[in-house]
Amino acid sequence: MANVTIIGAQWGDEGKGKVVDWLASRADIVVRFQGGHNAGHTLVVGNQTYKLSLLPSGVVNGKLGIIGNGVVVDPHALLAEIERVSAQGLKVTPETLRIAENAPLILPLHAALDSAREAARGDRKIGTTGRGIGPAYEDKVARRAIRVCDLAEPDTLAAKLDELLLHHNTLLAGLGAATFDKDSLLAELLRLAPRLLPYAEPVWERLAQAKAKGKKILFEGAQAVMLDVDHGTYPFVTSSNTVASTAGSGSGMGPDAAGRVLGIAKAYCTRVGAGPFPTELDDETGRLLGERGHEFGTVTGRKRRCGWFDAALVRQAVKVGGIQGLALTKLDVLDGFKELKLCTGYTINGEAYSYLPAAMGAQARARPVYESLEGWSGSTRGARSWADLPAAAIKYVKRIEELVEAPVTLLSTSPERDDTILMQDPFAS
């Protein structure tokens, strides 16, 4: 059996939560390998709805969850999430959740700096959630991060806080924001240490043992390829690499860790926050997509921008993200549309492009080239086989496969776990 890595193939919010939850029931271990609590997955199981930000989705299935070293961990957010899902009946203990001892922590000063910078940008905001993810990754790269393992060494923690505050308080003061006191931060971290350290371990060793035993590992991406800090619509991106190749480095496994890569894409397209969005619809159709799709961010509650499916963008994500198959979600939202459109490329200053260029100005000027398809009058909601789908819906899915140059191997037709059409088991070797 092969490992499976799930990543978003658009700008996030593609419905990864349901697909991860569905696949987690077939896995032994579920691993988060990048991002922070700036992204979330909504899982609907029966009459319960679980909203997860840091916890691997496998906890809903009672599977071992691992938060890898590629994740930046806000201890307050994590502990609050554990309390919330525990109140819903889930069991989250050191036996069901492990955290990489070398994972960096997000501290209150990171969120303060994040928000202060965004406010200072004025009209040039990039759409950050203000939760400190970017500044925490900066500290990691600059070698001044506080990591989970530091909580076990008070002297190390105190010394590292000196360096951290020298940097951050200078920046905060320059931005006109409040600065932080070392003693207060140190006391808070030492108070949290006994609650976090029981979950900590060298997870690379556990994963190596799992690999040797042939265990099925599911790697759960938090955002999407077009938010990747290298390959996305920079600077309107997240602060980590979101592509599948990060699964190994973000968990302590080798380059073959990712296994089969499944990309998640909506049957249309959405984006939260600022940044280019060539197929965005500022009209009644866009409003209807948002209304029918309940398009609000899981973590922030922000309204999502909506538009037609961008096949050129997803094809690009397939190539740079290493995607071998697509899981297409929310097909039922398109029920009843008389005409549907697929973006097959762009024009930028009159020149044709089959991809979205890296330059910020070119991205902003990209205009979609559309292909029209006939909609369908029947319902796809709740369909669990191809035979349940209208012919025009099948044609729409097949055309997407052709344009993005990847097969649709899984089709989701409602938020319910079992309303899924599986063409190929991703865990099959």
Q: What residues are labeled active site?
A: 13, 41
Q: How far apart are CA 93 and CA 86, in angstroms?
A: 10
Cβ count near 249 (within 10 Å): 17
CA 200, 204, 209: angle at the middle one, nearest 5?
110
> In this structure, what token pair is assigned to residue 9?
């193939």
Phi, psi of 133 (to 5 degrees): -65, -50
Distance separating alpha carbons of residues 235 and 127, to the nearest angstrom: 10
- Per-residue b/e over 71-106, b at no fewer than 16 CB within 10 Å? bbbbbebbeebbebbeeeebebeeebbbbbbbbbbb
- How is residue 318 written in tokens? 């397939």
CB contact at 8 A, 259 and 242: no
DSSP codes of every residue in 218-276: EEEEEEEGGG-TTTSSTTSS-SS--STTHHHHTTT--TTTT-EEEEEEESSEEE-SSS-
Overall size of the chain counted in residues: 429
In three state form, how does the secondary structure of 58-115 look? Answer: HHHHCCEEEECCCECECHHHHHHHHHHHHHCCCCCCCCCEEEECCCEECCHHHHHHHH
Are 301 and 348 within 8 A, CB to CB? no
Contact 223, 261 (CB under 8 A): no
